[in-house]
Amino acid sequence: MSANIGPRGVAVPTQLWLGTRQASSNGGTFPVINPATEQMLAEVADATSADWQHALDLADAAQTEWASVPPRRKQEILYEVFTQVTERAQDFADVMTAEMGKPVAEALGEVAYGAEYFRWFAEEAVRIPGRMAAAPAGNGTILVTRDPVGPVLAITPWNFPLAMATRKIAPALAAGCPIIVKPAAETPLTMLLLGEVIANAFRKFGVPEGVVSIVTTTDAAGLSSELMSDPRLRKITFTGSTPVGRLLVKQSAEHLQRASMELGGNAPFVVAADADLDLVLGCALQAKLRNGGQACIAANRFLVDESIAEAFVERLTEHMSGFTLGDGFDEGTKLGPVITATQRDRIATLVEDALAKGATATTGGSVPEGPGYFYPATVLVNLPENSAILSEEIFGPVATVTTFKTLEEGVERANATPFGLAAYGFSENVHTAQYLAQHLKAGMVGINRGAISDPAAPFGGIKASGYGREGGTEGIEEYLSPRYIAWT
């Protein structure tokens, strides 16, 4: 079964992928809604316990054979997936725009970024390290290899429905681990289309059944608790909220499963007095409005030296007021809808709280009439310290601007958060830039840059933003266990 999605009518599977085969579910179906129109796009299979248990059975059965596939062969398979995703870039972009809302141009950017993880980890598959050394005591040889951890469960979010999955799937496969993917119920279609591409590539190379399964369901809690209670599952990788991440970490303790957690953020964007405002404004729009602000590394809090704050706010307001709301398929749309009515209303409540406490909106600040889950690009100034929006992740197109007198004060306030995923700092002075790079406390720091994600770099946070890394040479280590052999 399939649904025709987008203006070009892309045929997208709507059933589960259990290995390279599609399967229906006794759980019925659930709807996928276009957030720009509030119209139903498709109904997809709503998996039950029997479905995800079958996926784990397949993964467990495939583990030994997949782990033994030569690294060069794994490289060829992953590169084939990269090639096929790239060839179907427009199809993937159309599906993402329809189910998630981002403008088509942004969706095409995500396809290129998401596909790159397959190419990057294809290259890493043949570079899994090991070491051999003489034992210091002189009584033999120390040999260290790295083995795949075993079957993996990946739970992915709705905001980047392709890239957040590929950066989990690709390293797992490169390391030799079968993987079960549970996409977000809001945006399952992109993953089901990826399942089709993976199935085609796997059939071409004769990959064993069950190496990748895609299980769509509205019962995420049931799926995770049941699969994680099974000792055959050896790793959980999750991108989402901190409260859910904490719960999954607790669940992983029973069988001591490996866990990678990419959780919430509250990224500061610190602008020193000597920053280049032209550069700052371009990067501010990237860091704030990419994906409509629905990104875990989106700039949440703009902290600006008071000597340039007025000029910064004036120019930021001018730029953000020009971001046209609309359907992502419409020419000229620069800002699509947010994902659901619930998320839109949450953003509105945070803004209303700040305004009620004395903040000022220099642009935006109110919900437009429907249909669609739209919220305008908004700039808030004069925010009281007790505004909830300063401490909570906004996940929407709202920029808060506060000022500081000294750089030390600005950095101290930037770090005054339980989160530590990303931070941004701007200065034209090498010493100031070095200070920002050294003292901003986050897993990722951008200096004079608003776009920091790179498949070749480790993505992840500290503190309440989680642990583990995705991408870079570090990303594959999350799916490998060191093994020590004492050799006489």
Q: What is the DSSP string of 300-357?
A: EEEEEETTTHHHHHHHHHHHHTT--B--TTSTT--B---S-HHHHHHHHHHHHHHHHT
- Read off the CATH number of the domain in which 393 is found: 3.40.309.10
Give the pTM: 0.96
Q: Check if the beta carbon of residue 191 is closer than 8 Å to that of residue 165.
A: yes
Is 352 in the same domain as 235? no
Domain presence at residue 312: yes
**Alpha carbon distance 270, 413 (integer Å):** 10
Is 30 in the same domain as 165? yes
Domain presence at residue 358: yes
Q: What is the pLDDT of residue 370?
A: 82
Domain that holds residue 338: 267-447
From the list 99, 262, 477, 478, the catalytic residue is 262
**Alpha carbon distance 276, 25 (integer Å):** 56
Domain presence at residue 421: yes
Paired tokens of 131:
């070491």
Residue of 343, 344, 345, 326 lying closest to 335 (CA atoms): 326
pLDDT tens, 352-390?
999 999 999 999 999 999 899 999 999 999 999 999 999
Check whether the bond before 371 is cis (ω within 30° of 0): yes
Tally of CB atoms within 10 A around 143: 14
**Alpha carbon distance 136, 112 (integer Å):** 48
Pairing of strands 179-182, 212-214: parallel
Tally of CB atoms within 10 A around 424: 30
**Alpha carbon distance 451, 347 (integer Å):** 23
- Read off the CATH number of the domain in which 164 is found: 3.40.605.10
Residues 6+ apart with CB under 8 A from 396: 292, 293, 294, 338, 343, 344, 346, 347, 375
Domain presence at residue 455: no
Is 136 in the same domain as 197? yes
Domain presence at residue 287: yes
**Alpha carbon distance 3, 14 (integer Å):** 7
Is 129 in the same domain as 196? yes
Q: Phi first, then psi: give them for residue 178, nearest 5 degrees.
A: -65, 155
Is 247 in the same domain as 274? no
**Alpha carbon distance 413, 409 (integer Å):** 6
For CA atoms 16, 22, 24, 29, the dihedral sign is positive
Reported residue count of the chain is 488
Half-sphere exposure of 8 (CA within 13 A, CB side): 12
Q: What is the pLDDT of residue 1?
A: 80
Is 256 in the same domain as 324? no
Q: Check if the beta carbon of residue 367 is closer than 8 Å to that of residue 270.
A: no
For CA atoms 309, 311, 312, 317, the dihedral sign is positive
Tally of CB atoms within 10 A around 445: 18
Structural domains in the chain (count): 2
Is 181 in the same domain as 250? yes
Is 95 in the same domain as 148? yes
Q: Could you tell me the CA-to-CA distances from 111 to 20, 328, 339, 449 in Å, in that order?
A: 22, 15, 19, 21
Is 310 in the same domain as 279? yes
Q: pLDDT below 50 — which residues of the chain?
A: none
Domain presence at residue 134: yes
Q: Is 262 a catalytic residue?
A: yes
Domain presence at residue 453: no
Q: Could you tell me the CA-to-CA distances from 281 to 192, 269, 276, 285 in Å, in that order?
A: 37, 11, 9, 6
Is 215 in the same domain as 325? no
Alpha helix segments (H runs only) across 88-158? 89-100, 104-125
Is 196 in the same domain as 323? no
- Residues 451-471 as b or e (16 or more Cβ within 10 Å = b): ebbebeebbbbebbbbbbbbb
Is 160 in the same domain as 136? yes
Domain presence at residue 322: yes
Q: Using CB atoms within 10 Å of the CB of residue 222, give its burial: 0 to 12 exposed, 13 to 18 middle, 19+ buried.
A: middle
